[in-house]
Amino acid sequence: MRAFAPGSVTAVFAPGETADQSKGASVAIADGMIADVQQARDETDRDGPLVTVGGEPTAFEPVELALGKLDLPDAAVRADLTAEVPIGRGFGASGAATLATVLAVNEEFDLSMTREDLLEVAHRAEVEAGTGLGDVFVQNRGGLVVGDGGEPQKFARETTIEYSSFGSIATEGALADDDLMARVQREGTAVLDALPDDPALADLTRKSWAFAQAIDLPTEEVREAVEAVEAAGGTASMAMVGETVFAVGVEGVLENQTEVCPEGAELR
C-alpha cells in the first residue's frame, strides 16, 4: 500500500502553549514523501521494522517510533520511502514520511484507525524524535495553514513556489537552543498576531523574511538568494528550519519549482 504526504514550508512559527506544540503559518507543497508499506518477507537477523529511503536501509527515527506505537508486529513491516524533497532542509520531510507511513500501514494491515488517531501517532513520534512540532497538521490538510495543531485555519492558494536548498539545520538542535527559541517566541508571536484574517502568500513571505532576520538564522547563501529573488521582483524567505530559500512571484530564479498542494496526505 502506498501513501503520499506533501512537504511543508513553515514561514514563521512560535512555541505553543505546551511543549509538544507550536503555532505558525505554513504551506503544503506538491513535492513530498511517498511511503510504500508491505509485509516484510525476510525477518532474518532483524529486530524491528525495515525502513528504507531510496532503497537504502535507513534509521528514520520518527517513522520507527510511529510504527512502534501501532498494534502490529514491528519486524513484519517494511516501509520504503521515496523523497521528492531534500530531507533535513526545512521541508517537513520527517513529518511527511511519518504521516504517509502510518496512513499506508493502517490500510495495509487493516488496523481500522481513524484519521485523527493516525495523525496523533505521527505527531507524537515527531515530537519524541525532536524532528518537528506541527508539520503533520499542515501536511494533513494541505493549502496554507495558520494556527496551531488544535484548530488551524486552512486557506486555498494556487501559487507557484520556487526554492533552492543549500544545507541543513538540525531541527532537534534548534528546538533545544533556549536563546534561539526565546527569540522565536518573541518575534514569531508578534508576526502571527499581526497577520490579517486572509493572508496573501506574498505578504506572509515578506513577514517571514523579517522574522528570519530578527532571529538571526539566515546564512550568507540564503541572503544572496533572497536578494536575487527581490531583484527579479519577487518575494523570498527562509524555510523554518533549514538552509533553504522559498520564493513567490518569480520564474526561473531559484532552481526548483513546485505548487501549493491543495489537499493533504492521501493513499495512492
Q: Is the pLDDT of residue 39 over 90?
A: no
The CATH code of domain 1-268 reads 3.30.230.10
Q: Is the pLDDT of residue 78 over 50?
A: yes
- Identify the band that residue 45 occupies on the pLDDT scale cut at 50, 70 and 90: very low
Classify residue 183 by its DSSP letter. H
Cα distance between residue 250 and residue 31, in whole Å: 18
Q: Between 32 and 72, where is the model more confident?
A: 32
Q: What is the pLDDT of residue 172?
A: 65
Q: How large is the average pLDDT for residues 39-49? A: 66
pLDDT digits (tens, 9 = 90+) for 90-124: 999 999 999 999 999 999 999 999 999 999 999 99
- Identify the band that residue 166 occupies on the pLDDT scale cut at 50, 70 and 90: very high
Selection from 239, 259, 244 nearest residue 26 by Cα? 239
pLDDT digits (tens, 9 = 90+) for 128-142: 998 888 899 999 999
Q: Could you give the C-alpha distances from 173 to 73, 118, 131, 180, in angstroms and in order?
A: 32, 26, 9, 10
How much is the mean pLDDT over the chain?
Answer: 91
CB-based contacts of 10, cutoff 8 Å, min separation 6: 24, 25, 26, 90, 92, 135, 138, 239, 240, 241
pTM for the model: 0.92
Q: What is the pLDDT of residue 44?
A: 47
Give yes or no for a contact between 247 and 224, defined as CB atoms under 8 angstroms apart: no
